[in-house]
Amino acid sequence: MTDMTHSIRMPASLRALGNIVLFLLRSPTSAFGLLVLALLVLAAVFAPWLATHDPYVQDLGNTLQAPGQGHPFGTDELGRDIFSRLVFGARITLTIIFLVSIVVGPIGLVIGTSSGYLGGRFDTVMMRITDIFLSFPSLILSLAFVAALGPSLNNAIVAIALTSWPPIARLARAEAMTFRNADYIAAARLQGASRLRIIVKSIMPMCLPSVLIRLTLNMATVILTAAGLGFLGLGAQPPLPEWGAMIATGRRYMLDNWWLVTYPGLAILSVSLAFNLLGDGLRDALDPKQMNRR
Amino acid sequence: MSVSVDVHDLSIVFGSGPQAVRVLPGVSIAVQPGECFGLVGESGSGKSTVLRCISMLTDFWQGEIRIGGRFVREIPLGERCRTLQMVFQDPYGSLHPRQSVRTVLHEPLAIHKLDDREDRMRRAITDVGLPVSFLDRFPHQLSGGQRQRIAIARALILEPSLLLLDEPTSALDVSVQAEILNLLQRLRDERGFTYIMVTHDLAVVDHMCDRFAVMLLGEVAEVLPRDAIAGNQATHPYARELVGASLAYEGTRRAQG
């Protein structure tokens, strides 16, 4: 029986996904976001084939080359090909986004929905904890964290994750509070469903769309924070081709060799812009008031 | 498998301190096994609150509620769910927008660890007059009347003996109202349910209920048999007024029609 429901449900969810993608492609801004992100993912997946050079190999006889002559984006102060470093840097960026999102999304969703549905003292305690995390500027808390644990990419990811779950928890809580008095929740209670069951099966699916939208919009901030930490030398360590770190080292040569900072800067700009546009598009696509169209 | 319902001196206070509002000052009703009992009254007279208290959706009331002679607070949760179920007013709000009919009907079976789930689901959905293929639909693919039928199927699937109906037809078209009422009537004839039905509409009471209570400001003004509607035999002034107004309205409607 379970097999049967799965075989029925899978195509439906796939069709819904297809509809959402079609909807996104219909508006130029979200189509642009989707396109840039597709490029980012493709670049990360096919990095070894796309890159013209090894991103780590130094060529001291060929430093600070202007774009052209076999180096489309020029070379940096150690003679490394900037284009190849950008392509491999896409992997680091995607790793950061992926890890932060799969940590932050579930934590925010669980804390938010449970405190929103259960209410009372649990809610108060949970919300005071999120208040504490919210009251720190995220970059500063990340800095403190990385300073305490030592600079590395993994610590940067943990630090970013720590600072970006509270807004999501807040959002999920607000959503859960609007649904907790709905008749279908009352019906579930009358069927004897436990609180856990109601939260997981009834509340969470309703909060998921807005959490997904928020998470997508959040990714732009995550990229900027990661780049910021990299820039300050507290994120990815050399010789990792992290975009923020590339700008940090390129800064010293910025006046004479503009390509060292311009291309990584453009990469950060376009990817965070793409996530913002995609998030906006998703907000329209997943709007519950338009659900009947799907 | 009918049960009786005895509500004795039920009262409930919302809020605390100076803002406390006593919504039900002390309601007592007695419903016979297999009876359809109506609760009528104006908005805010506490009709729905009585149902929510009986079903323990609101549990901070005082007084006594007995179902089949047992105190409702002492019935274990699982057994209570298999004794009483509720159908809500708004079929658009009472079904989870992201759950298919199959999920809606499967959940109670999973919670109560019942077997023959596929059979039970098919039976429940045919009982309410819908084809089995509707199991894979989502609420937004159903009309209001179909949704209300699903809500009734959900209430039936645990085979309760008491159904609490909170204005089950007021959100529906007149023609669909009749369908749902006939469905409820047929189910009662077949299974001998006890119904407690909240409604605004005395015509519905006339069609469905054996007796009804007129509620005013949280109190039962008068309990009347169905036959009392036709000649307006109510003695309480408010009940007389209500029945009279309804009769006058029906009269003008008939005269026009």
Identify which of A186, A191, A201 has the shortest CB distance to residue B81: A191
SS3 annotation, A38-69: HHHHHHHHCHHHHCCCCCCCCCHHHCCCCCEC
Q: Which residues of chain A have pLDDT under 70?
A: 1-12, 287-294
Q: How far is B238 from chain A (nearest CA, A)?
A: 31
B108 touches chain A (CB under 8 A): yes
**Chain B residues closer than 8 Å to A291 by CB:** 97, 140
Q: How many domains does chain B have?
A: 1
For residues A225 and A158, the answer to whether their CB atoms sit within 8 Å is: no
Range of the domain at B82: 5-256
Identify which of A9, A183, A192 has the shortest CB distance to residue B77: A192
Confidence category of residue B44, pLDDT binned at 50, 70, 90: confident
Find the helix or strand (DSSP H, E) in which A88 lies: helix A82-118
**Chain A residues closer than 8 Å to B162 by CB:** none
Prediction pTM value: 0.85
**Chain A residues closer than 8 Å to B151 by CB:** 187
Task: Output the CA–CA distances (angstroms, integers) from residue B40 to A217, B164, B167, B198, B238, in the order listed.
Answer: 51, 14, 10, 6, 12
Q: Does the distance separating the beta carbons of B154 and A183 come in below 8 Å?
A: no
Which pLDDT tens digit goes with each residue over B239-250?
Answer: 988 888 888 887
Model pLDDT, residue B255? 64
Q: What six digits make up the tokens of B94?
A: 């009472």
Rounded-to-integer distance, Cα B249 and Cα B82, Å: 40
Identify which of B57, B90, B117 has the shortest CB distance to residue A190: B57
**Chain A residues closer than 8 Å to B99 by CB:** 201-202, 205
Model pLDDT, residue A292? 47
Instruction: Quote the mean pLDDT of chain B.
Output: 89
Task: Output the CA–CA distances (angstroms, integers) from residue A180 to A115, A165, B93, B117, in the order listed.
Answer: 11, 22, 12, 28
Q: What six digits make up the tokens of A47?
A: 């990095």
Which CATH code of 2.60.40.10, 2.30.110.10, 1.10.3720.10, 3.40.640.10 fits the domain covering A41-293?
1.10.3720.10
A6 forms beta bridges with none
Identify which of A5, A187, A197 has the shortest CB distance to residue B154: A187
Identify which of B78, B93, B140 has the shortest CB distance to residue A292: B140
B136 touches chain A (CB under 8 A): yes
Q: What six digits make up the tokens of A90?
A: 């896409």
Which pLDDT tens digit goes with each residue over A35-81?
Answer: 999 999 999 999 999 988 899 988 888 888 888 888 889 898 898 99
Q: Is A240 helix (H, G, I), strand (E, B) or coil?
A: coil
Q: Does the distance separating the beta carbons of A8 and B96 come in below 8 Å?
A: no
Model pLDDT, residue A4? 45
Mean pLDDT of B3-19: 89
B48 touches chain A (CB under 8 A): no
Which pLDDT tens digit goes with each residue over B204-250?
Answer: 898 899 999 999 888 888 999 988 888 888 888 989 888 888 888 87
Q: How far is B163 from chain A (nearest CA, A)?
A: 12
B153 touches chain A (CB under 8 A): no
Which pLDDT tens digit goes with each residue over B76-101?
Answer: 999 999 999 999 999 888 999 889 99
Interface predicted TM-score (ipTM) of this complex, two decimals: 0.89
Q: Does the distance separating the beta carbons of A192 and B111 come in below 8 Å?
A: yes
Model pLDDT, residue A65? 85
Model pLDDT, residue A193? 93
Identify which of B89, B94, B111 has the shortest CB distance to residue A191: B111
Return the minimum-mean-pLDDT range out of A10-14, B18-22, B73-77: A10-14
Could you tell me the residue ranges of all domains in chain A?
41-293
Taking CA–CA distances from A9, the nearest residue in chain B reads: B136
SS3 annotation, chain B: CCCCEEEEEEEEEECCHHHCEEEEEEEEEEECCCCEEEEEECCCCCHHHHHHHHCCCCCCCEEEEEECCEEHHHCCHHHHHHHEEEECCCCCCCCCCCCCHHHHHHHHHHHCCCCCHHHHHHHHHHHCCCCHHHHHCCHHHCCHHHHHHHHHHHHHCCCCCEEEEECCCCCCCHHHHHHHHHHHHHHHHHHCCEEEEECCCHHHHHHHCCEEEEEECCEEEEEEEHHHCCCCCCCCHHHHHHHHHHHHHHHHHHHHC
Mutation site, B52, B95, B96, B107, interface A, largest A CB count within 10 A: B96
Q: How far is B232 from chain A (nearest CA, A)?
A: 35
Q: How far is B43 from chain A (nearest CA, A)?
A: 18
Question: Helix, strand, coil proportions of chain A in percent (round to 5)?
Answer: 80, 0, 20
- Residue given tokens 């970006």 in the structure block: A164
User: Which CATH number covers residue B239?
Assistant: 3.40.50.300
Contacts (Cβ under 8 Å, ≥6 apart) of B19:
none
Q: Does the distance separating the beta carbons of B97 and A189 come in below 8 Å?
A: no
Q: Is A137 helix (H, G, I), strand (E, B) or coil?
A: coil
